[in-house]
Structure 1
Amino acid sequence: MFKEFKIDHLDTFPQKLETLLDRQRAKIDEITKNSETSYEKILKPMQDMDEELGLFFTPLSHLNSVMNSDETQKAYESSIPLLSKFSSEIAQNEALFHKLEKIRAEDEEAKTVVRNEVRDFVLSGAKLPKDKKKRMEEINLHLSELSNSFSQNLLNATNVYELIIEDPKDVQGMPQTDIDAATEKLEGKTIYKFTLQIPSYMAYMTYGPNREYRKELYKAYNTRAPENAEVIDQILALKQEKARLLGFENYAKYALETRDANTEEEVLGFLDTLADAALPQAKEELEELKAYAKKTDGIDDLASYDVGYYSEKLKKEKFDFDDTMTKPYFEQEKVLNGMLDIVSELFDVTFKTANVPTWHACVKPFDIYENGELSGRIYFDLEARKEKRGGAWMNDWETHFTDSKGMPHLASAFVVCNFSPKIENAPSLLRHDDVVTLFHEMGHAIHHLFGKCHERAVSGINGVAWDVVEFPSQFLENFAYEAAILKRFGFHYETGEPISGELMRKIKETKNFQAALGILRQVEFSLFDFKLHQKLYQGEKVQALLDSIRDRTSLLRPPSYNKFQHGFAHIFAGGYAAGYYSYKWAEVLSADAFFECLDEKEGFNKERAKGYKEIILANGGAKEMSELYKEWLGRKPEVNSLIKLYEIA
Structure 2
Amino acid sequence: MKVLTSKFTTKYNTAPFSQIKNEDYFPAIQEGIALAKGEIDAIVTNPEAPTFENTIEAMDYSGAILDRASSIFFNLNSAETNDEMQKIAQEISPLLSEFGNDITLNADLFARIKTVYEQKDRLNLNPEQTTLLDKKYKSFSRNGANLPEEKKNQLREIDKELSKLSLQFGENVLAETNAFEMHLTDYNHLAGLPEGAIEAARSLAKAQGKEGWIFTLDFPSYIPFVTYADNRELRKKMAIAAGKKAFQGNEFDNKEITLKIARLRHERANLLGYKTHSHFVLEERMAQSPEKVKSFLNDLLAKAKPAAQREFDELAAFAKKLDGIEQLEKWDGAYYSEKLKQELFNLDDEKLKPYFQLEKVLEGAFTIAGKLFGLTFTEIFDIDKYHEEVMTYEVKDEFGELVAVFYADFFPRKGKRNGAWMTSFKSQYIKDGVNERPHISNVCNFTKPTETKPSLLTFNEVTTLFHEFGHGLHGMLANTTYPSLSGTSVYWDFVELPSQVMENWCYEPEALALFATHYQTGEIIPQEYVEKIKESASFQEGMATLRQISFGLLDMAFHSNNPTDITDIKAFEKTVFEDTTLYPDVAENCMSVAFSHIFQGGYSSGYYSYKWAEVLDADAFAYFQEKGIFDKEVAKKFKDNILSKGGTELPMELYKRFRGQEPSPDALLKRAGLL
> Which TM-score band (shorter chain)?
over 0.9
Distance in 2 (CA, whole Å) between partners of 1:187 and 1:630 is 56
Letter in 2 for 1:284: R
Q: How do 1:480-559 and structure 2 match up within 5 A?
A: 480-537=506-563, 539-559=566-586
Distance in 1 (CA, whole Å) between partners of 2:414 and 2:531 is 36
State whether structure 2 residue 641 is matched by structure 1 residue 596. Answer: no
Distance in 2 (CA, whole Å) between partners of 1:239 and 1:157 is 25
Structure 1 stretch displaced more, 50-59 or 381-390: 50-59
| Residue 154 of structure 1, CA deviation | 0.4
- Contact kept in structure 1, 2:598 and 2:604, CA below 8 Å: yes
Could you list the per-position Cα deviations for residues 306-329 of structure 1 after superposition, in whole angstroms to 9, with x for gaps in the alignment? 001010011011111111111111
Counterpart of 1:277?
A: 303
State whether structure 2 residue 191 is matched by structure 1 residue 172. Answer: yes
Could you list the per-position Cα deviations for residues 476-524 of structure 1 after superposition, in whole angstroms to 9, with x for gaps in the alignment? 1121111211121111112222211111111111111100000000000
| Residue 274 of structure 1, CA deviation | 0.5
| Residue 408 of structure 1, CA deviation | 2.5
Counterpart of 2:288?
A: 262
Structure 1 stretch displaced more, 109-118 or 184-193: 184-193
Q: Would you say how many aligned residue pairs link Structure 1 and Structure 2? A: 646
- Contact kept in structure 1, 2:597 and 2:603, CA below 8 Å: yes
**2:47 pairs with one of 35, 45, 48:** 35
Structure 2 counterpart SS, 1:468: coil
State whether structure 2 residue 409 is matched by structure 1 residue 398. Answer: no
Counterpart of 2:114?
A: 101
State whether structure 2 residue 198 is matched by structure 1 residue 198. Answer: no
Q: CA, structure 1 residues 567+94, in 2 after alignment: closer, same or farther (shift >3 Å)?
A: same
Distance in 1 (CA, whole Å) between partners of 2:190 and 2:608 is 38
State whether structure 2 residue 85 is matched by structure 1 residue 72. Answer: yes
Instruction: List gaps (5 residues or longer) in structure 2.
Output: 1-11, 248-252
Counterpart of 1:474?
A: 500
- Contact kept in structure 1, 2:255 and 2:569, CA below 8 Å: no
Instruction: List gaps (5 residues or longer) in structure 1.
Output: none
Could you list the per-position Cα deviations for residues 371-414 of structure 1 after superposition, in whole angstroms to 9, with x for gaps in the alignment? 221121111101111221000000122222112x3432111211
Q: How do 1:616-635 and structure 2 match up within 5 A?
A: 616-635=642-661
Distance in 2 (CA, whole Å) between partners of 1:188 and 1:39 is 64
Letter in 2 for 1:614: D
Structure 1 stretch displaced more, 282-291 or 544-553: 544-553
- Contact kept in structure 2, 1:532 and 1:542, CA below 8 Å: no
Structure 2 counterpart SS, 1:454: coil
Distance in 1 (CA, whole Å) between partners of 2:577 and 2:25 is 45
| Residue 604 of structure 1, CA deviation | 3.0
Structure 2 counterpart SS, 1:419: coil
Structure 1 counterpart SS, 2:668: helix
Distance in 2 (CA, whole Å) between partners of 1:59 and 1:400 is 15
TM-score by length of 1: 0.97
Counterpart of 2:270?
A: 244
**1:382 pairs with one of 403, 407, 410:** 410
Q: How do 1:137-536 and structure 2 match up within 5 A?
A: 137-183=156-202, 184-185=205-206, 190-226=211-247, 227-355=253-381, 356-370=383-397, 371-403=399-431, 405-462=432-489, 464-536=490-562
Counterpart of 2:6?
A: none
- Contact kept in structure 2, 1:5 and 1:59, CA below 8 Å: no
- Contact kept in structure 2, 1:51 and 1:399, CA below 8 Å: no
Distance in 2 (CA, whole Å) between partners of 1:199 and 1:160 is 16
- Contact kept in structure 2, 1:528 and 1:545, CA below 8 Å: no
State whether structure 2 residue 25 is matched by structure 1 residue 13. Answer: yes
| Residue 187 of structure 1, CA deviation | 11
Structure 1 stretch displaced more, 127-136 or 554-563: 554-563
| Residue 49 of structure 1, CA deviation | 2.3
Distance in 2 (CA, whole Å) between partners of 1:185 and 1:372 is 47
State whether structure 2 residue 76 is matched by structure 1 residue 57. Answer: no
| Residue 203 of structure 1, CA deviation | 1.1
- Contact kept in structure 2, 1:51 and 1:398, CA below 8 Å: no
| Residue 541 of structure 1, CA deviation | 4.2
| Residue 185 of structure 1, CA deviation | 4.8
Counterpart of 1:639?
A: 665
Distance in 2 (CA, whole Å) between partners of 1:98 and 1:494 is 67
Letter in 2 for 1:34: N
| Residue 535 of structure 1, CA deviation | 2.0
Counterpart of 1:4?
A: 15
- Contact kept in structure 2, 1:483 and 1:603, CA below 8 Å: no
Distance in 2 (CA, whole Å) between partners of 1:182 and 1:369 is 40
Distance in 2 (CA, whole Å) between partners of 1:214 and 1:475 is 34
| Residue 536 of structure 1, CA deviation | 2.8
- Contact kept in structure 2, 1:11 and 1:71, CA below 8 Å: no
Letter in 1 for 2:498: P
| Residue 351 of structure 1, CA deviation | 1.3
Structure 2 counterpart SS, 1:487: helix
Distance in 2 (CA, whole Å) between partners of 1:581 and 1:346 is 29
Letter in 1 for 2:239: Y
